[in-house]
Amino acid sequence: MDAPDRATVARELHDFIAPALSGPIGPDEDYFALGLLNSLFAIELVVFVEQRFDLEVEVADLDLGHFRTISRLTDFVLAKLAGRAGLAA
């Protein structure tokens, strides 16, 4: 799999997250703060990100608010993918 570009990652994250909310979600909105998500969504999102982008979310990744907005999650995914490419090179 070629490394996806930023727009692709952001769109795929949006397409997974938005249907879990009743309305649209902006790239910098904290979807957890909206209070609309059920209690399973946080781990579903982790599993989705891991499966879709073939990466592993570890405990150290939880702390920095990576998972709270689409923009930050996009940054996180791209950084993880870049880190992996760096290791492989």
Q: Does 1 bind another protein (CB under 8 A)?
A: no
- Of the ranges 1-9, 39-47, 69-77, 79-87, which one interacts with another protein (CB under 8 A)? 39-47
Which CB sits closer to another protein, 23 or 86? 23
The reply on whether position 35 binds another protein by CB under 8 A is no
What single string gives the DSSP state of each residue in the chain?
-PPPPHHHHHHHHHHHHGGGSSS---TT--TTTTT-S-TTHHHHHHHHHHHHHT----GGGTTTSTTSSHHHHHHHHHHHHHHHHHHH-
State the minimum distance, in angstroms, from the CB of residue 24 to another protein: 6
List residues binding another protein (CB under 8 A).
15-16, 18-20, 24, 38-40, 42-48, 50-51, 59-60, 62-63
